[in-house]
Amino acid sequence: MHRSMFDFRLGRVLAVGAAMATVAAACGSTPASGPSGAAPASQQVLSINDQTEPNSYDPGQETYTYEAAVGRNVFEPLLKPKADLSDVTGAAASGYTVSSDGLTYTFHIRSNANWSDGKPVTGSDFVYGWKRLLNPALAAGYVDPFFDTNVAGAADYGKVDATNATAIDAFLSGLGLSAPNSKTFVVKLQHPAAYFKWVATLWVGAPIRQDVVESAAGGSFPSSDATKAEAWASNASTIIGNGPFKISAIVPKDHVTLVPNTHYWAGTAAIKQLTYDFIPDANTAFAKYRTGALDIINVQGANVTVVRNDPKLSKQAKLIPRLTAFWMAYNTKRSPLNNQDVRMALAKAIDRNQLTQDVLHGTDKPLTSFLPKGMLGYDNSDNAQSFDAAAAKQLLQKSGVSVADLNKMKLLTRNTTTNQTVNQFIIQQWKTNLGLDIQLNVIDSKTVTKMIRAGNFDIYGPDGWGADYPDPQDWADIFQSGSCHALNWGCPTLPGYDALVQKADASQSASSRLADYKTAQKQLIDTAAVGFLYQQYEYDLIQPWVTNMSITPIDDEYVPGDFYYQGVYIKKH
């Protein structure tokens, strides 16, 4: 979903105190009959362009935002973020308790939590769901690092023979997951983790019904059989979820239709049909929005200017902050990029205001810090990387590295329109402000991913991170040395960083955690571990009749408000 990102808006392949945009009214569920001013039930239809068809409708197999947008409305995890991201709140669980040593989380399943077929949700359903998620044969994308590094007994997840059912069963039976009774789910951890409450909000941690899975598979099957394990998730009639909606129709390469789960604990949603269209072309979606056939779309490319200049559409546009930051990665394992002064000179030579205004149409905001605005722990007081052409030249001279040596470097670029445009600007900035003539190396996106994971690059970007949840642990962990090979952002050497972040991760003191994460962020900025560029903002159009939306910076991309569609309704128009 969020995780590692590159800017693909024109060629898509793929907090505490946070800003929250609210459309029309505050969030909350609505009665089945609809609120005052609502359109008739026949008009309670919400159509959204999700752009890309999910690879799976099994929540545990979903990785990207366009998949989570469906998964989190059909299935419900234990907890969910509050609309203002100040904390978590109950979802399938009404609440939870934590043992004094921080190692045991006990979740209390709601007495009226039900599946879409009316059967009650149980603690055993969560045990089964989490064991499926941690089954190596299923290779779920979100196991690492959220579950295998936290759940007791899961540390050897990557070492289990995924073809050996006996080995898998032994591993799964040793996990710290249990259901003492039908309404209790207990998770034992490997280590204290104050952020674990946020892990419990991830849509992949939803419950799964064993009887549903086995019925679709034709009976029980070995834990090593990934094919039978997924048979249930391809047919709308066998996808039984516990979220506010259920899938009524799947039309491959076109759309998926959701309708209310009438057994949902918080009541029946006012929206009677929620449709996600899979329209990859921005202009096609824009045209459908203008006819009223779509209620919510993302605005891309030249259409941004069209919307801004249109007196009607400009009033329907929302500029939504995302907890997503982009940066330039420097391969610190290669000289001269192992020189901190060189990296800082490159960082300070980029005019981010000009970049975001002239290149990115003013829909993004300059950023010279690690954590984006709206995140718990956001602090923009360290200006070490701020634009200063004169200081950049002085740093380059101080480094002792010649222009000729730097000109041997190449800037690796994905072949998407936005990436090439951004990097052409950056190349020009380095030429104008540092006298450099670094060349672009434009390659297809799939190959670029392989190259950066192998460390086969000099400079690469824009790359970055989007929040899975609004806790700085989700960010600070990605620059630990152990993440180098999976998330290759230049593998900077950061003395003491790992220990500092691990201390913050385990601490039960909120103030101590924030102080340590702030110190870690300062180290990333001051050593120019990467060159920070901008925070992504999303420019969306929302029809004026869509009412009672609660939009947060961690909503799924291009699907604003999807954490709280339960409370949305269509007003008379």
Summarised one tens digit per residue, pLDDT across range 160-215 is 999 999 999 999 999 999 999 999 999 999 999 999 999 999 999 999 999 999 99
Residues 124/182, Cβ–Cβ less than 8 Å: yes
Given a cut of 60, whether residue 27 has pLDDT beyond it is no
Residues 141/157, Cβ–Cβ less than 8 Å: no
18 domain residue, yes or no? no
> What are the strands, taking DSSP E only, across 73-190?
79-81, 88-90, 93-98, 104-109, 177-178, 184-188
Q: Are residue 244 and residue 388 in the same domain, yes or no?
A: no
Q: Are residue 209 and residue 63 in the same domain, yes or no?
A: yes
Give the model's pLDDT for residue 145: 85
CATH number where 82 lies: 3.90.76.10
The confidence band for 302, taking pLDDT boundaries of 50, 70 and 90, is confident
The candidate with the shortest Cα–Cα distance to 122, out of 138, 111, 137, 136, is 111
Q: Are residue 258 and residue 330 in the same domain, yes or no?
A: no
CA–CA gap between residue 283 and residue 51 (Å, rounded): 12
Give the model's pLDDT for residue 22: 33
Give me the mean pLDDT over the 501-508 stretch. 92
- What is the total count of domains within the chain? 2
Q: Are residue 388 and residue 454 in the same domain, yes or no?
A: yes
Given a cut of 80, whether residue 486 has pLDDT beyond it is no
Q: Are residue 200 and residue 334 in the same domain, yes or no?
A: no
CA–CA gap between residue 312 and residue 471 (Å, rounded): 38
Element (H, E) at 272: none
The confidence band for 7, taking pLDDT boundaries of 50, 70 and 90, is low
CA–CA gap between residue 85 and residue 563 (Å, rounded): 11
The confidence band for 5, taking pLDDT boundaries of 50, 70 and 90, is low
CATH number where 417 lies: 3.10.105.10
Q: Are residue 230 and residue 343 in the same domain, yes or no?
A: no
Given a cut of 50, whether residue 463 has pLDDT beyond it is yes
Most confident of 7-11, 94-98, 279-283, 504-508: 94-98
Please tell me whether residue 137 adopts helix, strand or coil conformation.
helix
Q: Are residue 209 and residue 112 in the same domain, yes or no?
A: yes
Residues 463/534, Cβ–Cβ less than 8 Å: no
CA–CA gap between residue 384 and residue 151 (Å, rounded): 38
The confidence band for 394, taking pLDDT boundaries of 50, 70 and 90, is very high
The candidate with the shortest Cα–Cα distance to 68, out of 3, 11, 13, is 3
Give the model's pLDDT for residue 30: 40
pLDDT > 90: percent of the chain: 83
> What are the strands, taking DSSP E only, across 368-519?
410-414, 439-443, 459-466
Q: Are residue 384 and residue 242 in the same domain, yes or no?
A: no
SS (H, E, C) 435-450: CCCCEEEEECHHHHHH
Given a cut of 50, whether residue 24 has pLDDT beyond it is no
CA–CA gap between residue 465 and residue 370 (Å, rounded): 10
Pairing of strands 45-49, 79-81: unpaired
Q: Is the pTM of this model over 0.85?
A: yes
Q: Are residue 185 and residue 119 in the same domain, yes or no?
A: yes
Give the model's pLDDT for residue 482: 83
Give the model's pLDDT for residue 34: 63
423 domain residue, yes or no? yes
pLDDT in tens, 203-243: 999 999 999 999 999 999 999 999 999 999 999 999 999 99
Give me the mean pLDDT over the 435-441 stretch. 97
Q: What is the mean pLDDT of the chain?
A: 92
Given a cut of 50, whether residue 16 has pLDDT beyond it is no
Q: Which of 316-325, 372-381, 414-423 has the lowest mean pLDDT?
A: 414-423
Backbone angles phi, psi at 293, to 5 degrees: -75, -20
Give the model's pLDDT for residue 26: 32
pLDDT > 70: percent of the chain: 94
281 domain residue, yes or no? no
Q: Which residue has the higher pLDDT, 127 or 3?
A: 127
pLDDT in tens, 528-573: 999 999 999 999 999 999 999 999 999 998 999 999 999 999 999 9
Q: Are residue 250 and residue 329 in the same domain, yes or no?
A: no
Q: Are residue 333 and residue 247 in the same domain, yes or no?
A: no
Give me the mean pLDDT over the 124-145 stretch. 95
299 domain residue, yes or no? no
24 domain residue, yes or no? no
333 domain residue, yes or no? yes
298 domain residue, yes or no? no
Q: Which two tokens stand for residue 136?
A: 């190596």
pLDDT in tens, 77-121: 999 999 999 999 999 999 999 999 999 999 999 999 999 999 999
CA–CA gap between residue 261 and residue 304 (Å, rounded): 36
CA–CA gap between residue 249 and residue 232 (Å, rounded): 14
Q: Are residue 379 and residue 264 in the same domain, yes or no?
A: no
Give the model's pLDDT for residue 28: 38
pLDDT in tens, 55-76: 999 999 998 889 999 999 999 9
15 domain residue, yes or no? no
CA–CA gap between residue 285 and residue 288 (Å, rounded): 5
Give the domain range for residue 430: 325-351+375-536
Residues 132/56, Cβ–Cβ less than 8 Å: no
Given a cut of 50, whether residue 353 has pLDDT beyond it is yes
Region at 548 (left for phi over 0; alpha for psi -120 to 50; beta for the rest): left
